[in-house]
Amino acid sequence: MQPIKFWIILNLELTRMEGKLIDSFGRQISYLRLAVTDRCNLRCQYCMPAHGIDIVDRKELLTFKEMYRITRVLSELGVNKVRLTGGEPFVRKGFVDFLEMLDFNDLLEEINITTNGVLISKHLEKIEQLKVKSINLSLDSLRKDKFAEITRRDVFDDVYETLEILEKSNINLKLNIVVQSGINTDEIIDFVELTKHKNIAVRFIEEMPFNGVGQKDVKEVWNYTKILSEIESKFDIEKLVDGKSSTSRNFKVDTYKGTFGIIPAFTRTICGDCNRIRITATGMFKNCLFDDGVFNVRDFMRDGASNDDLKKLFLSIVVKKPKNGFIAEKERNSKVSESMSTIGG
């Protein structure tokens, strides 16, 4: 290419990227995971101890107006996708009104939700009218007794009913299964089998030590490779093309209606094209799931920051996004042990 042409293209590209959230490795941030609460109606064993976690005082939670403001400012910097999570989003009063509020943000292309599905069914009609593209439903066992053992609550029927309603809705349904050594690994095949007649995306997640206690001692480590070989031992599978920045590596069994994927959340082989940032329920900005928080946006706003101040802040902290989850973990002040419910999974 002629030098002059190269120079023109480079400058056009730089102008286009101005005011966008780009880290020092050239990764552009376009996806926000926002925890709307730290509260939850279940007590999943891999997420928190039986007695739950120390929840914060209500005043410490971001208000929905503050969440709207953060999301709007981030969307003006190129974030076009938001995932609402928690805690359990549907336990927070006013959550569905917040969804409607977010729907007004014309810069957002997609709103996604991660939920345990217990409280959602009565809101589905309204949600279907919004730009909610997909719902990730957590369901770690297809057996009622095992489900109760994992979640420490007897709500399997409600969650399974949600699955069936969502499957028929116009919202994409993804099932999240945390693969827990010695607990639900005997159901991996059953979950893949579920995709035979159901048009859903089943996703197996490597268990991480975000459980309020820390790293567990396990007999067998069920990582990406082991989960995949378990599935390959039973099915002929086809690799699918993964979307850019996809968190899962995706596959399908030929002739089956749905797909399945594996999320290497702990082995962290997906960091290379990460496009995600997180805001916790108390307003802590996280560049990576494994960092221990970069900056409290809630306090900054409550101290009177303008939207321009917020923009400058976000542009400056995203640059410091660590290369991968291992570096983020190394730079922490404390060991990974906080509950996923406080971070927003």
Write out the residues near ligand SAM by the rule CB under 6 A: 40, 46-47, 85-86, 88, 114-116, 138, 176, 178, 205, 207-208, 210-211, 265, 340-341, 345
Query: Phi and psi at residue 237, in whole multiples of 5°?
Result: -120, 160
Residue of 88, 187, 206, 291 interacting with ligand SF4 (CB under 6 A): 88
Should residue 202 be labelled a site residue for ligand SF4 when binding is judged by CB under 6 A? no
Cβ–Cβ < 8 Å for 35, 344: yes
Q: Which of ligand SF4, ligand SAM, none has residue 48 at its interface (CB below 5 to 8 Å by kind)?
A: ligand SF4
Nearest distance from C-beta of residue 151 to ligand SF4, angstroms: 6
Rounded to an integer, what distance in angstroms lies between the CA atom of residue 197 and that of residue 195?
6
116 binds ligand SF4 (CB under 6 A): yes
- In the numeric block, which tokens belong to residue 236? 């002929």
Residue (55 or 189) nearer to ligand SF4, CB: 55
Per-residue contact flags (x/-) with ligand SF4 for residues 11 to 50, judged by CB under 6 A: -----------------------------x-xxx--xx--
Residue 43 touches which member of ligand SF4, ligand SAM, none, C-beta under 5-8 Å by kind:
ligand SF4
- Give the single-character DSSP code of 243: P
For 340, residues 6+ apart whose C-beta sits below 8 A from its C-beta are 46, 47, 48, 208, 210, 211
Distance of closest approach, residue 299 Cβ to ligand SF4, in angstroms: 24
For ligand SF4, which is the closer residue by CB, 87 or 283? 87
- What is the pattern of x (binds ligand SF4, CB under 6 A) and - over residues 46-65? -xx-----------------
The sheet with strand 276-279 has its strands ordered as 237-239, 249-253, 259-263, 201-206, 172-179, 132-138, 110-115, 81-85, 31-35, 276-279, 284-286, 295-296
Q: What angle do CA 251, 253, 257 make, to 5 degrees?
A: 100
Q: In degrees, to the nearest 5, what angle opens at C-alpha 194 toward C-alphas 44 and 41?
A: 20
Nearest approach, Cβ of residue 237 and ligand SAM (Å): 23
The answer to whether 297 and 318 have CB atoms below 8 angstroms apart is no
Sequence-distant (≥ 6) Cβ neighbours of residue 207 within 8 angstroms: 46, 178, 179, 180, 181, 216, 222, 266
Tell me if 340 contacts ligand SF4 by CB under 6 A: yes
Query: How far is 137 from 116, CA to CA, in rounded Å?
Result: 6
Of ligand SF4, ligand SAM, none, which one sits near residue 112, judging by CB under 5 to 8 A according to partner kind? Answer: none
Task: Provide the minimum distance between the beta carbon of 103 and ligand SAM in the complex, in angstroms, as a whole number.
Answer: 20
The footprint of ligand SF4 (CB under 6 A) covers: 40, 42-44, 47-48, 86-88, 116, 138, 340-341
